């Protein structure tokens, strides 16, 4: 499956999940640190094919990198190390720029 087909299928899955939630079919909202899982629109990974999972895994890895570098940057700013914070923010920005459009905020 090519990348464009994968992204279209993923968009349909995300929309289907959002529609279910709007209709009240998903009452199980799990909360993390100020995050409502219903807003993440994570597709049902059990329904994805191997190559689709591989592509999605790459996106999750980029999101993980972004979150880690952003967290480091915030810690550096709080400690007063602005130059190191800027360094981590630049790396986080690179991870963000590599995300596909549908995974950006």
State whether 35 and 52 are in the same domain.
Answer: no
Measured CA distances, 91 to 1, 35, 82, 100 (Å): 31, 23, 14, 17
pLDDT over 70 (residue 101): yes
pLDDT of res. 15: 66
State whether 66 and 102 are in the same domain.
Answer: yes
Q: What is the pLDDT of residues 6-40, one digit of tens each?
A: 677 666 766 666 666 566 544 444 555 665 545 66
pLDDT of res. 96: 97
In total, how many domains does the chain have?
2
State whether 52 and 96 are in the same domain.
Answer: yes
Q: What is the pLDDT of residues 33-90, one digit of tens each?
A: 665 545 667 788 999 999 999 999 999 999 999 999 999 999 999 999 999 999 999 9
5 strand-pairing partners = none
Domain hosting residue 28, numbered range: 1-41
36 strand-pairing partners = 31
State whether 4 and 52 are in the same domain.
Answer: no
């Amino acid at each position: 499956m090519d990348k464009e087909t994968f992204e279209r299928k993923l968009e349909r899955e995300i929309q289907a999940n959002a529609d279910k939630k709007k209709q009240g079919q998903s009452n199980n909202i799990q909360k993390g640190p100020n995050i409502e899982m219903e807003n993440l629109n994570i597709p049902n990974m059990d329904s994805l094919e191997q190559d689709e999972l591989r592509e999605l895994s790459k996106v999750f890895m980029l999101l993980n990198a972004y979150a880690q570098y952003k967290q480091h940057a915030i810690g550096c700013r709080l400690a007063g190390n602005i130059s190191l914070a800027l360094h981590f923010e630049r790396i986080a920005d690179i991870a963000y720029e590599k995300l596909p459009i549908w995974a950006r905020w």
